[in-house]
Amino acid sequence: MAPSHDSSAPAEFGIVDQQIDPRWLADPRLPEFLRWLADSIESDQRPEDQAEFPEPWVDLRPDEEEAETRAGTLEAELARQLGESHVLHGDVVEAIAACRHCDAVMFRLGDGRYASVEMVWNLRRSDVAGLPSTTIHDVWASAAAYLRSHDPR
């Protein structure tokens, strides 16, 4: 490890020319924060089929008939909204999670990637670039991080 200019922390950790306040190490919340961080990293590393979705996400993976019905409805709605120029047009999609508080849905794509989509319920098939708003996640860890950090406001 190469030391930073002030020798306070290794440059590999992105802390260069900054002092770490030793009072931070004595903060009583540090163990709780480190547990939260470790749990977050561990949950991102679990395979998708073993993942538990955090609040406010609803699991739509096919275990219950109601979830399957809702997933099918969301998949049909997405197909209705996608114009020919949309990044997901023509892809096989499976709804796996939906936010309880907004119109965000996580889809598993046929090629193993994931897509987080902000559904636009009043949108008919559209060729407006970027609608519905979509982010492609190449790996499950990226999709899991999105689910964990999603703010429905």
Is 95 strand, coil or helix?
strand
Supply the pLDDT for residue 3: 42
Q: Residue 7's pLDDT band (boundaries 50, 70, 90)?
A: very low
CA distance 149 to 43: 13
Whole-number pLDDT of residue 117:
96
d(Cα 33, Cα 140) in Å, to the nearest integer?
A: 24
Side chain identity at 45, as an amino acid letter?
Q
pLDDT of residue 106: 97
Residue type at 5 in one-letter notation: H
* Percent of the chain surpassing pLDDT 70: 70
Dihedral sign from CA coordinates of 29, 151, 137, 70: positive
Q: How far is CA 71 from the centre of its chain?
A: 17
**CA dist., res. 118 & res. 61, Å (int):** 19
Q: Where are the domains of the chain?
A: 11-45, 55-149
Which pLDDT value is given to residue 23?
A: 74
Task: Tell me how far apart the 2 most distant CA atoms of the chain are, in Å.
Answer: 60
- Cβ contacts of 92 within 8 Å, gap of 6 or more: 109, 110
Query: In this predicted model, what pLDDT tens digit does every residue of 32-91 receive, in sequence order?
Result: 777 766 666 665 566 677 778 888 999 998 776 676 788 999 999 999 888 888 899 899
Judge whether 4 and 10 are in contact, CB under 8 Å.
yes
pLDDT tens digit sequence for 98-134: 999 999 999 999 999 999 999 987 766 665 666 899 9
Does the reported pTM lie above 0.85?
no
Taking 70 as the threshold, does the pLDDT of residue 20 lie above it? no
Mean of pLDDT over the chain: 79
